[in-house]
Amino acid sequence: MRILYALNTFRPHIDGVSVSIERHAIGLAARGHSVAIVAPSPRFNNTIESVAGYRLYRVRALPVDGSRRRVPIQPGRGARWALEDFRPDTVVVSVPFLLSRAVRQIAHAQGYPIVGITSMMPEWFDYNLGLFRPLARALNHRLWRLITGYYNQCDHVVGVTDTALKLLIEHGLRRPSSVISNGVPLQTFAPRPRDERLATLLGVPRKPTVLYVGRLDAEKCMRVWVSAIPSVLARIDAHFIIGGEGTERAALEQLARKLGVESHVSFVGFLNQEQYPSLFSLAHVFAISSPVELQSIVTLEAAASGLPIVAARAGALPELVHEGENGLLFAASDPLAMAAAVVKLLVDPPRREVLGQGARRVASQHDFALTVDCYERLFERIGRREPRLAGKAAPAIG
């Protein structure tokens, strides 16, 4: 099969959508399929690269506010270029904006079978629009209409969790649909001894340690996470690791200084692919405060690594974190509740061990090999239509 994925963000910007899609591409390519990704370029030019067995179409783009995010220029032309050159059997799209939207629209006009994967919810805008947050909330219903209208033009829609698919159905999804987890590579993310070399490199002391890794953007509510630290330190001498980058990093570092806990926190930024799985070996608990997760790949990675999870009781996180089996849940946006849950685990090593084993068992239900199996069957089922000649009847976009 020939499968083309469309993304609005990609390396060097890292988020859960791009990580999961690249894993899909590598996994399917390893099984002999021809796979390509079309995504924004880190430069102002179009390029074609060969990466880990798949083809990468980079569409010229500009940076957004100096961040790693890039906005594609003339996404319609980029979409048409990738479709005409690659000629896929199936097209897979994500969020309903920019390059992914252009690919869906042109692919639909040309008759390609299209799979849409859920990857966003309007509530994210509530956290990222600052003074315009009340406007975002007022537009919530219209944003859901935009999202479901987009997915209703796909041949099949995949929810990464029951929660994700239920939200779409509640807001008007009418297309055939199924649930397929993003999955986690269980060989890459597994319980392992503490990596002392990495601990020394990052300056992480040998203490009870709490970890979060991921984007540091507003919807992750990491101010709640950092605000919980003083209450934890009042009960136990612990250390805290925050991995990743984002628009909130500077503010979080400032908050740690304001609270007087900066010496207990390591902001480690992005780690390379060789170091990243070992980061989980430095922690005793993984904690996530985001209330708007449709699944959370990093939580799956932590669970597969054998870490007990402390998570906000919100979004799809309760599908991964089962109270008393593999972790503890706390009321979203409540740093004191988060701190209390973290302390319960840090002061009780035997309980941590039991919940960590439970976390690995839960993660095993999301084995990435099973994810690839499910997508193979789905693509085989829908990828049998003969597309019209590329360039015919396709609307001009971008």
Q: Are residues 229 and 169 in the same domain?
A: no
Please tell me the predicted confidence (pLDDT) of residue 392. Answer: 35
Identify the DSSP state of 261. Answer: -
Please tell me the predicted confidence (pLDDT) of residue 389. Answer: 43
Beta-carbon neighbour count of residue 389 at 10 Å?
Answer: 10
Q: Are residues 62 and 89 in the same domain?
A: yes
Residue 232 lies in a domain: yes
Residue 387 lies in a domain: no
In the predicted model, is pLDDT for residue 166 greater than 70? yes
Average pLDDT of the residues in 65-80: 83
Q: Are residues 127 and 206 in the same domain?
A: no
**Between β-strands 177-179 and 156-159, what pairing exists: parallel, antiparallel or unpaired?**
parallel
In the predicted model, is pLDDT for residue 62 greater than 50? yes
Give dist(CA 355, CA 345) in Å, integer: 9
Q: Are residues 210 and 337 in the same domain?
A: yes
Residue 397 lies in a domain: no
Q: Are residues 124 and 79 in the same domain?
A: yes
Q: Are residues 353 and 378 in the same domain?
A: no
Please tell me the predicted confidence (pLDDT) of residue 130. Answer: 57
List pLDDT tens digits, range 91-150: 999 988 899 999 999 999 999 999 999 988 777 666 665 555 666 666 788 888 999 999
Residue 377 lies in a domain: yes
Residue 394 pLDDT grade (very low, low, confident, very high; cuts 50, 70, 90): very low
Q: Return the ∠ at Cα 197 (arms to 225 and 266), rounded to 5°.
A: 20
The pair of structure tokens assigned to 358 is 């439970």
How many domains in the chain?
A: 2
The pair of structure tokens assigned to 89 is 């059997």
Torsion of CA 198, 203, 209, 214, to 10 degrees: -70
Average pLDDT of the residues in 60-89: 87
The pair of structure tokens assigned to 284 is 């005793």
Q: Are residues 275 and 128 in the same domain?
A: no
Average pLDDT of the residues in 212-227: 95
Q: Are residues 231 and 358 in the same domain?
A: yes
Say what angle helices 75-86 and 98-109 make with each other, to 10 degrees.
Answer: 50
Please tell me the predicted confidence (pLDDT) of residue 119. Answer: 82
Please tell me the predicted confidence (pLDDT) of residue 388. Answer: 46
Q: Are residues 281 and 170 in the same domain?
A: no
Tell me the one-letter amino acid at 147: I
Element (H, E) at 179: strand 177-179
**Between β-strands 70-72 and 61-63, what pairing exists: parallel, antiparallel or unpaired?**
antiparallel
Q: Are residues 344 and 229 in the same domain?
A: yes
List pLDDT tens digits, range 323-361: 999 999 999 999 999 999 999 999 999 999 999 999 999
Residue 303 lies in a domain: yes
How high is the mean pLDDT of the chain? 91
Residue 392 lies in a domain: no
Q: Are residues 222 and 141 in the same domain?
A: no
Average pLDDT of the residues in 8-25: 89
Q: What is the CATH number of the domain that holds 66?
A: 3.40.50.2000
Identify the DSSP state of 65. Answer: T
Q: Which residues span the domain enclosing 214?
A: 196-364
Residue with tokens 């946006």: 333
Q: Are residues 135 and 240 in the same domain?
A: no
Please tell me the predicted confidence (pLDDT) of residue 64. Answer: 77
Residue 191 lies in a domain: no
List pLDDT tens digits, range 260-307: 999 999 999 999 989 999 999 999 999 999 999 999 999 999 999 999
Please tell me the predicted confidence (pLDDT) of residue 396. Answer: 31
